[in-house]
């Protein structure tokens, strides 16, 4: 059993180059002097401060640090003040632009013209002054100039004196926009680190630099797998940390069973070497991603820098795993919210170097602060098939069938669902909310089974767990289609608890040493969500990533900023939030309009 004393709470820290992006608030105003502008100054600034308060109170960076808002030094009544604001925002590292106003203003003179900054405009819905009229006018200007912006239009008319009060519908859109826009800016300039090459011909592990650069603003970095060998053989890792880590693993990690036939099993000495090597691989992979100043002190200055990687993937199979220990231990711990150094921000690592699924993991993590879990979308189990092989007639969340999410030995350990929310329900959490006791409970729910030597000739330790049922999750997959580009699909649903004896029967048909999550998507009765089978049948690849919460609305908003269409989702229509220009591409077929708008505007960082 893991001990809670083994899990210290670390302080939030920005692990990447550069400052964290800030949200810029642009209070725009009617520029007419001699009474008009003067009468609106206080009300306009009150609106800006109220918006900033909502964002800072409800949104955090994925690293756990608070989001900062920067308000323009003055209200913006014309182009000179707009330029002054833009200059301040450049100095203050503002990456997200929110314009607010309670009144009419001069649209093209006051608008934000930065083509790379995600933008939203909130025009206060009050009739004393036409803030909503300005909203419509300036959104038209944004559309005409090819600078898509989100429009925030409150449902109910309010009184002018209440400009400091933000209604719930406006609050929800402010939070969705800020969360998605900060995710866009957080990725920008970071790297995807490919550790190895293509795994077993899996298309997602054929890394596309063009996709990373044009759609995500990221670099494509790569190292050969032999770099791991060089570093552990030449001692290019923190020896003190390694000693701490292996002691912690021995004391807190449950070693599971070895499924291999006795005559094929590795001897105890080999198994010990494999475990020690797995720990070194985890330390080395982290150093490759984000660097380690301790290496510079040891004389390895170049190696100490890392690759500024916000995401990585490990090829593993087969050239590596036919001889060396697999990456399950490394991928699981780096993608989780804790390790021997304490409770800390997850570092997503994609199995089999599937960068498309890795990007899916990253998007989920950025909008929640929770780890994302890599999975094979392995099997659809119909109610009839479950009853035939187990004798149990599915009910509850499983009554329409379930999808078996099971990766080949690696998953973020938070997937066990051993945390509790304020209602006492099992959940996953942003890392900064996890207690040492919860982290200990989570690790105690995992056992580390020795790798199947048919798959992994070099051995390894797989993270074997079973997710608690009833947790709301969203399954996501980014696909790349020739002639179309990237498209995202998502399915909101729940993890499912099934009887132990049924789980054993179904799980044994695949590999009972791997991590399992039973998933039931929300069914709408139409299209790709006609039934659970349709979800599985329309899924675009063998992999998917799932993240805690029903976060489809945030992912849809985020994808519209990147110009990535969403081809499959079950998010209620009233929650979908995209730039106002999207309505010009059609209001009846919103999925088709999304495709047309994304094609028209092109990738955010593409060069037209």
Q: pLDDT digit string (tens) for 52-92?
A: 999 999 999 999 999 999 999 999 999 999 999 999 999 99
Question: What angle do helix axes 268-290 and 239-252 make, rounded to 10 degrees?
Answer: 130
CA 222 distance to own-chain centroid: 21
Give whole-number Cα distances, 302 to 128, 284, 421, 457, in Å.
62, 14, 43, 33
DSSP class of residue 199 equals -
Q: What number of other Cβ atoms are within 10 A of residue 591's Cβ?
A: 13
| Cα–Cα dist 434/277, whole Å | 28
With tokens 């590292």, the residue in question is 93
pLDDT at res. 72 = 98
Catalytic status, residue 352: yes
Q: Which residues are CB-neighbours of 527 under 8 A, at least 6 positions away?
A: 534
Residue pLDDT, tens place only, 402-413: 999 999 989 999
SS3 572: coil
Q: What is the pLDDT of residues 260-269, one digit of tens each?
A: 999 999 999 9
Q: Are 553 and 571 in contact (CB under 8 A)?
A: yes
Helix or strand holding residue 110 (H, E):
helix 107-110
Write the Ramachandran bin of 409: left for phi over 0, alpha for psi from -120 to 50, otherwise beta.
left
Rounded percentage of the chain residues whose pLDDT exceeds 90: 92
The distance from CA 437 to its chain's CA centroid, rounded to whole angstroms, is 25
Residue keyed to tokens 């997850």? 346
Q: Could you report the per-residue pLDDT of 7-51, keeping only the tens digit for each?
A: 999 999 999 999 999 999 999 998 899 888 998 899 999 999 999
**The pLDDT of residue 478:** 98
Enumerate residues 6+ apart whose C-beta is below 8 A from 537: 380
Question: Which residue is catalytic, options 345, 376, 414, 511?
Answer: 376
C-alpha separations of 254 from 24, 118, 219, 278, 448 in Å: 48, 46, 38, 15, 6
The least confident of 228-232, 361-365, 371-375, 603-607 is 603-607
Residue for token pair 């780096």: 334
pLDDT of residue 608: 54
The model's pTM:
0.96
pLDDT score for 388: 97
Task: Work out the number of other CB atoms within 10 angstroms of the CB of residue 291.
Answer: 20
pLDDT at 127: 63
Residue that is written with structure tokens 């996890």 in the block: 434
Report how far residue 530's alpha carbon sits from residue 522's, in angstroms, rounded to the nearest whole number: 10
Catalytic-role residue among 352, 354, 507, 594: 352
What is the rounded average pLDDT for all residues in the chain?
Answer: 95
Q: What is the rounded CA–CA span in Å between residue 55 and residue 317? A: 43
Close Cβ partners of 296 (under 8 Å, ≥ 6 residues apart): 304
pLDDT > 80? residue 584? yes
Question: For the chain, how far is it from start to end, CA to CA, in angstroms?
Answer: 57
Share of the chain above pLDDT 70, in %: 98
Peptide linkage before 124 cis (omega within 30 of 0):
no
Helices (H), 318-393: 328-335, 355-368, 383-390
* pLDDT reading at 598 higher than 80: yes
Predicted local distance difference test score (pLDDT) of residue 447: 96
Q: How far is CA 211 from CA 90, 202, 494, 601, in A?
A: 26, 17, 31, 16
- The H or E element that residue 46 is part of is helix 36-58
């Amino acid at each position: 059993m893991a001990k809670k004393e083994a899990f210290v709470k670390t302080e939030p820290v920005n692990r990447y180059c550069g400052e964290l992006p800030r949200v810029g608030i642009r209070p725009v105003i009617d520029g007419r002097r001699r009474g008009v502008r003067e009468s609106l100054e206080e009300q306009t600034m009150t609106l800006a401060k109220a918006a900033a308060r909502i964002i800072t109170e409800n949104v955090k960076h994925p690293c756990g640090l608070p989001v900062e808002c920067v308000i323009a030094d003055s209200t913006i009544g014309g182009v000179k003040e707009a330029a002054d604001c833009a200059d301040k925002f450049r100095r203050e590292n503002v990456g997200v632009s929110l314009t607010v106003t309670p009144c009419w203003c001069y649209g093209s003179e006051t608008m934000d013209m930065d083509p790379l900054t995600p933008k939203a405009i909130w025009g206060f819905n009050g009739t004393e002054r036409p803030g909503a009229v300005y909203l419509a006018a300036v959104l038209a200007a944004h559309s005409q100039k090819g600078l898509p912006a989100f429009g925030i239009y409150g449902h109910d008319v309010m009184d002018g004196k209440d400009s400091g009060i933000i209604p719930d519908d406006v609050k929800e859109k402010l939070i969705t926009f800020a969360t998605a826009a900060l995710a866009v800016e957080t990725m920008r300039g970071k790297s995807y680190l490919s550790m190895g090459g293509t795994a077993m011909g899996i298309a997602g592990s054929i890394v596309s630099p063009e996709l990373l650069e044009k759609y995500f603003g990221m670099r494509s970095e790569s190292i050969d797998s032999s770099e791991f060998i060089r570093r552990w053989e030449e001692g290019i890792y923190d020896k003190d940390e390694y000693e701490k880590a292996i002691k912690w693993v021995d004391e807190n990690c449950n070693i599971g069973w070895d499924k291999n036939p006795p005559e094929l099993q590795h001897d105890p000495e080999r198994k010990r070497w494999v475990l020690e090597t797995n720990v070194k691989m985890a330390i080395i992979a982290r150093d490759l991603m984000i660097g380690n100043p301790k290496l510079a002190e040891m004389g390895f200055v170049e190696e100490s820098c890392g690759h500024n990687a916000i995401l990585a993937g490990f090829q593993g199979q087969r050239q590596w795993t036919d001889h060396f220990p697999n990456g399950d231990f490394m991928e699981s711990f780096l993608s989780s919210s804790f390790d021997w150094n304490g409770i800390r921000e997850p570092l997503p690592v994609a199995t089999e170097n599937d960068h498309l699924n890795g990007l899916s993991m990253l998007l989920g993590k950025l909008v929640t602060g929770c780890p994302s879990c890599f999975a094979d979308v392995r099997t659809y189990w119909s109610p009839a098939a479950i009853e035939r092989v187990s004798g149990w007639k599915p009910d509850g969340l499983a009554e329409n069938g379930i999808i078996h999410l099971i990766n080949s030995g690696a998953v973020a350990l938070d997937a066990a669902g051993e945390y509790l929310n304020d209602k006492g329900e099992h959940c996953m959490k942003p890392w900064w909310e996890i207690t040492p006791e919860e982290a200990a409970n989570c690790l105690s729910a995992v056992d580390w089974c020795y790798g199947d030597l048919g798959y992994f000739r070099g051995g390894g330790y797989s993270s074997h767990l079973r997710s608690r049922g009833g947790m709301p999750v969203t399954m996501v997959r980014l696909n790349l289609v020739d002639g179309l580009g990237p498209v995202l699909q998502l399915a909101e649903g729940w993890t499912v608890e099934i009887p132990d004896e049924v789980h054993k029967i179904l799980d044994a048909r695949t590999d009972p040493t791997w991590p399992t999550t039973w998933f039931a998507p929300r069914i709408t009765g139409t299209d790709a969500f006609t039934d659970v089978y349709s979800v599985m049948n329309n899924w675009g690849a063998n992999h998917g990533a799932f993240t805690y919460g029903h976060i489809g609305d945030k992912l849809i908003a985020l994808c519209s900023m990147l110009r990535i269409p969403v081809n499959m989702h079950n998010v209620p229509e009233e929650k979908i939030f995209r730039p106002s220009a999207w309505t010009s591409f059609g209001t009846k077929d919103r999925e088709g309009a999304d495709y047309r708008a994304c094609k028209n505007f092109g990738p955010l960082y593409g060069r037209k």
